[in-house]
Amino acid sequence: MLSESDRSLAGLRRALDSGALTARALAESYITRIEDLDHKTKAVIELNPRALDDAEALDTSLSHGAVKGPLHGIPVMVKDNLNTAAPMTTTAGSLALEGLTVREDATVVARLRAAGAVILGKTNLSEWANFRSARSSSGWSSRGGQTRNPYALDRTPGGSSSGSGVAVAAGYCAAAIGTETDGSIVSPAAMNGVVGIKPTVGLISRRGIIPVSHSQDTAGPMARSVADAALVLGVVAGSDAGDPATAEADRRGSRDYTACLDPGGLKGAKIGCLPGLAAIHAGAAAILDGNLQAIREAGAEIVHDIALPEAEAVRPFEMKVLTTEFKAGLNAYLAEFAADGAPKDLRALIARNEAHREQVMPYFPQDLLEKAEATAGLDDPIYRNARRDCLQLIREEGIDRVMAERELDALVVPTTCAPWLIDWVNGDNRSGSSAYLAAVSGYPSITVPAGYLFGLPIGLSFIARAYEEAVLIRFAFAFEQATKVRIPPPFAKTANLQPCPSPPGD
């Protein structure tokens, strides 16, 4: 297998263009690694049976001097809630959709192919993008089983883009696509020691993606470096008539975010620090302190005493929005794409799951699906008021107010807690996440590896206002280059529980 540096997108591009490597050989090397290691992690739910043929075709075109785009010949994986044309299937990890094929790729997948990417396969996920039960285990699906963290196999990979995060961290692909409604890109990216970009809602088309919420859903790249994630973001961003939310994407976004990769990008920046999550563990606080010092030394000013609403304040309103939009969005998706024999709406899905309870619900129920089915539609005043309250709390009176009053260029915050032990009885043992800030507002965020706690990855997130991905990439790249903390996963059976050094002041 190629070295870590050679497996960067730039390194692969050089090897392919020079003829030192073929697309077919590269795809074969990743498939071999998946076959050797993924029985431990269960990150890959399905390989593309045409991947090697696609790679050979790209080799042929390259030999004639025809390069499709910046990802020509590079293997990429996508989460199993993005439509991929037959013979691949699209199931959101649910046995209820097992075998479902569609005629056309999702817009994101089509753009990857147009840029020359080899779609190597689909990644496992938390079933229905973690919108089946409040007591779920992140990374578990009835079709794919339990995805495991390659840093410690008894630990969560985060959710719901668990397979994408693990596939990138474990070296099963060059980059991957995840989706996020609230934390589903940044949390698994942070917990697997990789970079994840959660874009502005509306920068990337959701056409052909199994939905949760049209207010908060977005796809985004996951990669081992900021440079790689920035390149993929430019490939998949842009307006699409199939998703009206992207009307402003071409005008306000970019097709080349690699232009923002400035190692001095933090000089003169004014960044507000939200340390709240660090209080969950003294070790995480020590990691945050070290990262803030690195940001200062890179030339930025850190502004403290930043106050924003806590997740608990907005969560009831957000859940009303998500359950209402999930029913409307999923019913529309199933009506368009579900084949004969598959459930055609949410009510039929709930009934199908109940009829196959032993296979589909061996550990946790479908309470979120049932709550969604009980909602009264997008014209319901309770739903409309909940969405208004979400934006007022987190956007107008939250991020917008603080950044204007304190004249900030971005916010910085711990992404989430360290990966917890997988627990199929009680579900996820979350102890904090900052993802709700960018999720509810629809604003962009990027998480970067920031350190390790008992050998478990910790991530740091930068958050900015709508369509300021270029700002975040500039800051994140400068931070990454100043710290360079990422180490490949050891596939350990459990975490390294040697005592951590006491933080200063203990």
Separation of alpha carbons 240 and 443, rounded Å: 19
CA distances from 81 to 158, 212, 233, 304, 483 (A): 16, 10, 18, 39, 34
453, two tokens: 């706690």
The verdict on whether 484 is a catalytic residue reads no
User: Would you state the structure tokens that stand for residue 59, as one six-digit string?
Assistant: 């080799």
Task: Look up 137 and say whether it is catalytic.
Answer: no
Phi, psi of 134 (to 5 degrees): -75, -5
Angle at 89 between CA 151 and CA 100, to 5 degrees: 130
Q: Report the alpha-carbon distance of residue 435 to residue 463 in Å, rounded.
A: 9
DSSP 8-state symbol, 76: E
Q: Is the peptide bond before 263 cis (omega within 30 degrees of 0)?
A: no
- Residue type present at position 205: S
Distance CA 219, CA 197 (A): 9
- Cα 211 from chain centre: 14
> Which H, E and C letters describe 100-167, residue by residue?
CCECCCCHHHHHHHHCCCEEEEEECCCHHHHCCCCCCCCCEECCCEECCCCCCCCECCCCCCHHHHHH
Q: Token pair for residue 249?
A: 């994407």
Token code pair at residue 299? 């030339």
79 is catalytic: yes
Active-site residue, from 8, 42, 79, 239: 79
Residues 6 or more apart in contact with residue 500 via CB below 8 angstroms: 283, 453, 454
Cα torsion for 29, 31, 37, 40, to the nearest 10°? 160
Place of tokens 């850190």: 302
- Torsion sign, CA atoms 39, 42, 46, 47: negative
CA angle at 139 for the pair 180 and 201, rounded to the nearest 5°: 0
Active-site pick, 94, 126, 184, 205:
184
Report CA 144 to chain centroid distance, whole Å: 18
Catalytic residue among 8, 137, 141, 160: 160
The secondary element (H helix, E strand) that includes residue 477 is helix 469-483
Active site residues: 79, 160, 184
